Each structure stands twice: as structure tokens, then as C-alpha cells.
Amino acid sequence: MSTDLSAEDVSHLLELQPNANCGSVRVTFVSQHDIAVGGLPTPFQNGRPLGSSLYFLVTPSSSVRLHRIRNEQLYHYYLGDPLEVFLLHDDTSERVVIGPDIRGGQRLQLLIPGNTFHTARVIGDRRWFLGASTEWPGVVPAHVEIGQLDEIAARYPSVATELRAISASAHSVATGTSGPR
């Protein structure tokens, strides 16, 4: 039963590894089909996998770091507590909760538009969130950009306190252990 699992159990059972951007992750799919060079518009014109996906586990000490990718991505809720996500659009911010309480307004999936800075933290009693991210076209490491906290907090003062709190709680992971992204 999933209510008996701890974050450590989930990490071990799914063979997740610490990641610099998203808690602990394991890439579960990278398409064997590539989009040819020139087959997509800028910034994707250099060719890339058709799609990719990964599991990610978030805990209070390993939140989703403030970042953006060029691709659209879809977050999926699987197990555990809800995930509070802050999306930083061009001129507004948005708070969305991904979790099991759909009657209470939580979502099971969340589309994150390409080039949207975002960060997230687990909320709830069990203190862990297991989800997935699906991306199209597939993500390549060069298309992941870490946000500059002070600059972005100044641009979004209505959520600056939350951005700083999430950043302060995040466990730092060495760059070399970030895996494919």
C-alpha cells in the first residue's frame, strides 16, 4: 500500500538518483526516434529526441529548483503529498497544486509551457511527492536554465517570499550528479 511507503522506500524501489533540479529522478523514457536537424523551429533546430519522461521525488530538503526548460512539459501526480508549483509567466505568477484531492481543486496533471520558470515544494503530512514529467520534444541538458533567484524574486514580488523559502530549503546536489538534465 502506498500509505506505508516512505520517501526512502520510493527512492530505493524506483532506483531514483539525486538531481540538481528536481529532487531525485530516474529517466524512464527517451524516444529512440529523433527529430532531424532543421525539423523544428528555433530553439530546437539542432535535432533531438521525439520525447522524454522521468519520475521525480520531492521532499522538504529536495524541492524543485527554480529553473526552466525550452520544452513544454507535463507534470503528473502519482503518490504521496501534493506539490505546490509556482509558475512564473511573462508578466504574472501562478500557484497550482498537483495532488490527489481533485474535489479540493488539486490537479492530477499540470502543463508547464516552454520557457516558463518554475519551482515547487511538497506540502502535506507525509512529506514526499512522487510524480513524473513528460516532455516533447525530448529534453537535452543544454536546454535547462537555472533561475537567478534575486533577479526573478525582484521581478515577481508577490511570490518572492515563497521563491526564497523554497530555494533556502532545497538540498544542494553537485552538478555532476544531475543526470540527463
> d(Cα 115, Cα 127) in Å, to the nearest integer?
28
Predicted confidence at residue 1, as pLDDT, reads 54
Domains annotated on the chain, with CATH? 2-33+48-169 (2.60.120.10)
First to last CA, the chain: 31
Predicted confidence at residue 42, as pLDDT, reads 66
Predicted confidence at residue 70, as pLDDT, reads 87
Burial class for 169, CB neighbours closer than 10 Å (0-12, 13-18, 19+): middle
Predicted confidence at residue 121, as pLDDT, reads 96
Predicted confidence at residue 143, as pLDDT, reads 78
Predicted confidence at residue 77, as pLDDT, reads 98
Q: Mean pLDDT of all residues in the chain?
A: 88
Predicted confidence at residue 44, as pLDDT, reads 62
Point out the residues of the chain with pLDDT beneath 70: 1-2, 36, 38-47, 171-181
The strand order across the sheet containing 144-146 reads 93-98, 83-88, 117-122, 64-69, 144-146
Predicted confidence at residue 178, as pLDDT, reads 40
What are the cell numbers at 102? 481533485
Predicted confidence at residue 34, as pLDDT, reads 74
Predicted confidence at residue 136, as pLDDT, reads 84
Predicted confidence at residue 54, as pLDDT, reads 95
pTM reported for the whole predicted model: 0.87
Predicted confidence at residue 45, as pLDDT, reads 62
Place of cell 503529498: 81
Predicted confidence at residue 140, as pLDDT, reads 77
